[in-house]
Amino acid sequence: MHLELPKLPLHSLKDFAKHYLMIVLSILTALGLEAWIEHVHHARAAATASRRMDEELRAALDNIRDAEANDRRTLARLQALDATVVADLAADLDAAAVNRHIEARKDDYQLDVNWPVLPTDAWDVAVADQSLGWIDADALQRYSSAYTAERVLDGWLQHDATLVLDAPHLVDTYTDLQLDRPVDPRAFLHTLRQMEMALNSVLSHLQGTARRIAPALPGAAGGHPPAAA
């Protein structure tokens, strides 16, 4: 900050006091203007970051809901096949009869799990340019919770979602069905239950993540107002 004040001759203490006061007022004005400009810059940066994160989290939430709808359809098909096999076993049908029913619905024997895309670019940019520090504390807490939930879900989907599955057995069973070879009904039911358990676990995690993302969005209960343009 550099100030150029008029150089006037000082003839009295009163002139000196006036001159000194001019200097002080000029400095205070410059400091106030600088602070105001910085405040406006921070407010705009915070609004831009909030708007980008709102858009990104809304897209993530839509992806989660789409994945949930797909996984529910897959689970419903597996449960229907499960019910058929259980009814056959309860009726003491022989393996050949059970296999005929399985063969008729073999296309439903698929673990069609849809995992959502969970982008974090807007959050990463806000961290890099430090605009997170200028966002309202309550809104920042909700954003942080939402993105943490995304990272936890993404890690779980990549590493733990399929732990309940006996993958080699599933592949063998699927291959036998595609070759029209008979399968052991009880062993087949065991693989069905594994697939259903995996899907139920995925659905539970998707729902939990959606519940943590939703409050961060404008208009949600407890959410923040829309960012200014």
Residue 1: pLDDT band by 50, 70, 90 thresholds? Answer: very low
Model-level pTM greater than 0.85?
no
Which structural domain range is residue 21 located in? 17-216
Residue 156: pLDDT band with limits 50, 70, 90: very high
Q: Is the model's pLDDT at 10 over the cut of 80?
A: no
Read off the pLDDT of residues 78-134 as tens digits, 9 standing for 90 and up: 999 999 999 999 999 999 999 999 999 999 999 888 889 999 999 999 999 888 888
Specify the pLDDT at position 14: 62
Tokens of 114: 């849809």
Mean pLDDT of 132-142: 89
For residue 82, is it within any domain? yes
59 in a domain, yes or no?
A: yes
223 lies in a domain? no
Amino acid 13: pLDDT = 62
State pLDDT tens for residues 161-174: 888 899 999 999 99
Predicted confidence (pLDDT) per residue in 26-63, tens digit: 665 655 655 555 655 556 878 889 999 999 999 999 99
The proportion of the chain whose per-residue pLDDT surpasses 90, expressed as a percent, equals 63
* 228 within some domain: no
For the chain, the domain total comes to 1
| CA distance linking residue 184 with residue 190, whole number of Å | 10
| Assigned domain for 5 exists | no
Say if 9 falls within a structural domain.
no
